[in-house]
Chains A and B, each alone.
Chain A
């Protein structure tokens, strides 16, 4: 806004533009009209003044002409011989008759003869009494001028009478009365009012006027005046010619023009106001439409602006449409992204639940729906071994395959390696198991990933609507429970939801709660299983084993709660407790009897493991060399670099590290090379087969030979029989652990054992 008037707030742009432009134009127009009007007045005045001056000159000429004409008459008579004789001889009768004749001939009022001495020689009229006063003027040779006859100013012309010397003057006079002046004035081109007055009779302002100059004076009307001196033919006479011209009347002829101008200006302003309004509407009309369109779009309606023209407004409308389309497209994309999985393009959990919720009420009587919760088996392994891109490719491949293999099903990816499938089951379907098989088969495929072959299987949990739940969340929860069951039953299988699964889940939750209580209130206890050195034939240490004496359910073995602890992450506080408790008790054992503590992979991955160990050692006063950490190979699966770094850090604390359960899982000899373990614990499965023929002892020998070569000790777990003991001893195994030597015992029993201080006598076969 170029300017802002606070008192005048215009609600609309249209009004603002219109008022601004109309105001501006009106101002210019008014100024123009005003200037033109002024100019017209000035022009009128100037031309009137010019006319006046010109006509004043003309009137002077007229007067002069009249005087000359009179002079002509006097000349004729003054030269007449007879008249001259009459004057010279004083023949009054003759003179008088001649004067009469002259008067009538020249249409004048007075004719008389002035003698050389100024005496009135002859007068046709008795009024003349000023001949003496005329003498000096006549004597100077003036030929015309104003005289006063009988109180009236008259125009006079005089001719000398020569006989042959100057004998006197013949004077002819015409009173300049109104009638005479009016008659003369008619000869002028403009309307003039003329009068001849004595200077003394004039008002002051006229006397003050410059001789012969036109000036203006306003009384009730505007008048132009010119006061000029006219010559007198009589002493003491100061005649003035006063010419007056009505300026008002002269200007009146321009007034029509001025009215026309005013009308023109007024019309122009009306036109400008109209046009401004129109222009403003042209500008703001589309804006209003845009405003309306924007509002409608905000309300969520579909709008397409008519573009109409090719100008800026048209382009604006086009841009607007493009923008609206772009916004809609983006909205659709956002909606799609929000409801779909970016990797596979399948609906996500949210959309699946929505659609499930929509589908459920539409189920007709007898119709059923199958909700399948799918989890790929060992997908984590694919990711870890082949990399995330391979995992992604696998997921995409499965999604693609599912879409083609199950065209009637609603397939969604719930996240990670989890899928959900919704299928309508018609009433005539005989076997739900067949349907489940078909779905399961979809996942059991071999997929080529970057030249690697990947075997893919999946576990399925199935819930049936409406039997297993009326709403989506219940159905999903139940399918999930079934899946859990399927997973725990071994992979690559399916399981239908059963109500008891719900009960199991409830139990699991209870167990978790109880575990938390046990952690808080010290509900766990440690048992210790002896480790026997075969070469030295003595007890070398104990493996700490956790037991949970549950207040209601009785003693619970680690198998029954450790997986749940792993699952829920409670394994970390539990593991910490085990570490501290084991150290505390071991510190009270005599000599160099060591304690072995199992470290779960989750615990191993925790960042503060080393610190926990240090604290346990410090608070117990146990020598680090007496603490042995048992880890499993599975820690190598995740991140070898990090695992090695952690191992070295632990080793630097001075503790011993044993590789537990060697020979199971993805055992790789490269692990043994990558880190110098202190001990390798041979899995009980190898020990179990010893003494029953076969080649079990060959495996044992291979391991012991390898460990020996690498400078590691070997320990065999689960030794229960003497044959096993013998073979192990023969094959070079250093340590054994098992029922043959000693069952796990309570901490106080360990003390009691040392109390007898018969460690050495507590030997094989004892």
Chain B
């Protein structure tokens, strides 16, 4: 499954590389996320919102799609830019539905079969929790952001945000099990020039 995810990542990475490269080069922020026991937290979304947000459309180097495979949403957490349309391809043999009661996007996609795809547009920033009406255990999250500087922590809890503008910014960390209102924590940070790193501790449920 991990291998599969990395394949997709490669595909999307090659298409979005040009967009991100044009931003302010040089400054980068490497954030490591650990829980209270020091265990790295993976699949958390780290967003940096500079006080002066760059204009222009935001593009992420991964595909805007949330597949259903082996009765799981893949990838479990998807970061998209506000206004993106996300595809929901059903790669399972069983039928799935997709619903969301989240404020940014409340929708229901009725059951659909294998090799079928449905899409939905997310015009409002925020977190959208996805579920399948008939498979309670299926859980997927779409993080609709307004900043291009966002990423998911890897298995070691690391995420690297490159080409970020220096200056003050707010750093938001989100994770579905984060103990906080809205499952996110926002801190103000000052980005200096060059590469910098930061270690954040969070509490998980």
Chain A residues engaging chain B, CB cutoff 8 angstroms:
79, 81, 84-85, 87-89, 117, 162-165, 167
Bound-state Cα–Cα, A733 to B41, Å:
188
A163 pairs with B129, CB closer than 8 A: yes
- Report chain B residues within 8 Å CB of A87: 101
Partner of B129, one of A89, A117, A165: A165
Q: How large is the interface on B (under 10, 10 to 19, 20 to 34, 35 or more residues)?
A: 10 to 19
Most buried by B among A87, A88, A167: A88
B2 at the interface (CB under 8 A from A): no
Contact yes or no, B136 A79, CB < 8 A: yes
**16 interchain pairs (CB within 8 A)?**
A81-B133, A84-B101, A85-B101, A87-B101, A88-B101, A88-B102, A89-B101, A163-B129, A163-B131, A164-B129, A164-B138, A164-B139, A165-B129, A165-B139, A165-B183, A167-B101
Known A87-B101, A162-B131, A164-B132; further 6 A-B contacts with Cβ < 8 A: A79-B136, A88-B106, A163-B101, A163-B131, A164-B131, A167-B101
Q: How far, in angstroms, from A81 to B132 measured CA to CA in the complex?
A: 10
Q: In whole angstroms, how far apart are the Cα atoms of A162 and B176 in the complex?
A: 13
Over the window 161-185 of chain B, the binary record of Cβ atoms lying under 8 Å from chain A Cβ atoms (1 yes, 0 no) is 0000000000000001000010100
Residues on A with C-beta less than 8 A from B130 are: 164
The docked-state distance in angstroms from the alpha carbon of A81 to that of B101 is 11
Which of A81, A89, A167 interacts with B106 by CB under 8 Å?
A: A89
**Contacts of B102 on A, CB cut-off 8 Å?**
88
Least Cβ distance of A327 to chain B in Å?
118
- Give the residues in chain B near A164, CB-CB below 8 Å: 99, 129-132, 136, 138-139
CB atoms of B176 and A165 under 8 A apart: yes
A117 / chain B contacts, CB cutoff of 8 Å:
181
From A88, which residue of chain B is reached at the shortest CB distance?
A: B101
Across the A-B interface, the 3 shortest Cβ-Cβ residue pairs: A88-B101, A164-B131, A165-B129
Contacts of A163 in B (CB 8 A): 101, 129, 131
Contacting A at CB under 8 A, from B81-134, are 99, 101-102, 106, 129-133
| Smallest CB separation, A181 vs chain B (Å) | 36
Distance A117 CA – B179 CA, assembled complex (angstroms)? 11
Q: Which residues on the A side are within 8 Å of B99 (C-beta)?
A: 81, 85, 164
| B128-151 interface code vs A (CB 8 A; 1 in, 0 out) | 011111001011000000000000
Residues in A with CB closer than 8 Å to B131 are 162-164
Q: Which chain A positions have C-beta within 8 A of B101?
A: 84-85, 87-89, 163, 167
The smallest beta-carbon distance between A27 and chain B, in angstroms, is 76
C-alpha gap A165/B176 in the complex (Å): 8
For A141, give the chain B residue with the smallest CB separation: B205
Residues of A within 8 A of B138 (CB): 164
How many Å from the CB of A37 to the closest CB on chain B?
63
Residue of A nearest to B97 (CB): A81
- Residue of chain B at shortest CB distance from A163: B101
Residue of A nearest to B137 (CB): A164
Q: Which residue of A lies closest to B181 (CB)?
A: A117
Q: Which A residues touch B129, using CB under 8 A?
A: 163-165
Residues of B within 8 A of A85 (CB): 99, 101
In chain B, what residue has the closest Cβ to A167? Answer: B101
Q: In whole angstroms, what is the CA distance A451 to B72 when docked?
A: 161
Q: In the complex, what residues of A have CB within 8 A of residue B183's CB?
A: 165
Name which residue of chain B comes closest to A89, CB basis. Answer: B101
Q: Cα distance A163–B101 when bound, in Å? A: 7
A117 to B183, CA, bound (A): 12
Residues of A within 8 A of B106 (CB): 88-89
Chain B residue contacts of A88, Cβ below 8 A: 101-102, 106
For the complex, what is the distance from the CA of A276 to the CA of B132, rounded to whole Å? 96
CB distance from B55 to the nearest CB of A (A): 33
Bound-state Cα–Cα, A81 to B131, Å: 11
The complex places the Cα of A84 from the Cα of B106 at a distance, in Å, of 12
